Structure 1
Amino acid sequence: MKMVSELVKYLKDPHTKKVQHYKERYQELDDLSNVAVDIGDASAYKSLQAEMKEVFFEYLTAVVVDSIYRLAPYVLIIWIISLKWPSITIPFVNWQVDIFGAFLVSYLLLHVGKWFIKPIKSIIHKLGLFGLGASEATKI
């Protein structure tokens, strides 16, 4: 069961350890670079800056690869859906829309909706509308 959990964790976010390692290494080099500036060692500062550049580009590469891994399932979903339905028709205006555009718009609307739901939920909770307000015991 533990192996399955580890596999799911790896498939969900395969480059987390690499990204975290590069981030920590970059922070360590930045701290050492600040110490080199404080003590006035120009050669150490220069070599640390060169190594920081290398670590930064490795970090950037790991983040890009991680982003591609996160994007791949969505591309697969769009491809599978487009095999069955290459385009959809919007009923009231009779427009034909490519499935990729419809998927992209629905994905963006979902995330924008999440941004708007949080403040609306907090307002409803504060006002006590629809029975979702805090109980009298918690208002004290």
Structure 2
Amino acid sequence: MSIMLKVIQYLRDPHSNKIKKLKKEYQELDELSNIAVEIGDVAAYRSLQKEMRDVYFDYLTAIVVDALYNIVPHVLIIWLISIKFKTVTIPIIKYETSVFAAYMVGYLSFMLGRWMFNYIKPKLCAKTDIVGLAGLQKIK
């Protein structure tokens, strides 16, 4: 079962380990660079700054690739929906909007609702003794 969870985690966020490693390496180089400044070693400082630039650009590249991995499923979903429907009609006010706008509003509403739920859940669990209601668990 744990192998399955590792596979799912990797597919969900394939570059997280690389990003963490590069960030840690950059922080270590920054600390060494500060030490080189304190002791006045100009050659070591320049060498560390060059290596920091290389690590930083690798870090930025990994973040951009990770962002592309996160946005591709949304682009595919919008594309598949737009093949069938060119516009979406909002039923209450009879207003037509593009599939992209409707998807963005729906996605932002979902993210806002999830954020609000995660914000309210600990407060609700702390005030009540209800355990198991809608997946809520008491925080210890």
Q: TM-score category by the smaller chain?
A: 0.7 to 0.9
1-structure distance, mates of 2:15, 2:72: 14
Secondary structure of the residue aligned to 2:93 is coil
1-structure distance, mates of 2:71, 2:43: 42
Secondary structure of the residue aligned to 1:92 is coil
Q: How does 1:71-86 map to 2 (within 5 A)?
A: 71-86=71-86
Which one-letter code corresponds to 1:84 in the other structure? K
Could you tell me which residue of structure 2 aligns to residue 10 of structure 1? 10
Q: How does 1:53-64 map to 2 (within 5 A)?
A: 53-64=53-64
Q: How does 1:81-92 map to 2 (within 5 A)?
A: 81-92=81-92
Structure 2: runs of 5 or more not aligned: 132-137
Structure 1 residue 41 and structure 2 residue 41: aligned?
A: yes
Kindly report the root-mean-square deviation, in angstroms, between the aligned alpha carbons of the 2 structures.
Answer: 2.7
Range with greater deviation from structure 2 (38-47 or 13-22) = 13-22
Shift of 1:63: 0.2
Which one-letter code corresponds to 1:24 in the other structure? K
How many corresponding residue pairs? 132
Structure 1 residue 30 and structure 2 residue 30: aligned?
A: yes
Share of identical aligned residues, percent?
45
Shift of 1:10: 3.4
Cα separation, partners in 2 of 1:4 and 1:102, compared to 1, 3 Å: same
2-structure distance, mates of 1:124, 1:35: 48
Q: TM-score w.r.t. structure 2 length?
A: 0.78
Cα separation, partners in 2 of 1:98 and 1:18, compared to 1, 3 Å: same
Structure 1: runs of 5 or more not aligned: none
For CA contacts below 8 A with separation 6 or more, give which structure has more relative contact order: 1
Q: TM-score w.r.t. structure 1 length?
A: 0.78
* Structure exhibiting the larger radius of gyration computed from Cα positions: 1
Cα separation, partners in 2 of 1:53 and 1:117, compared to 1, 3 Å: same
1-structure distance, mates of 2:83, 2:113: 28
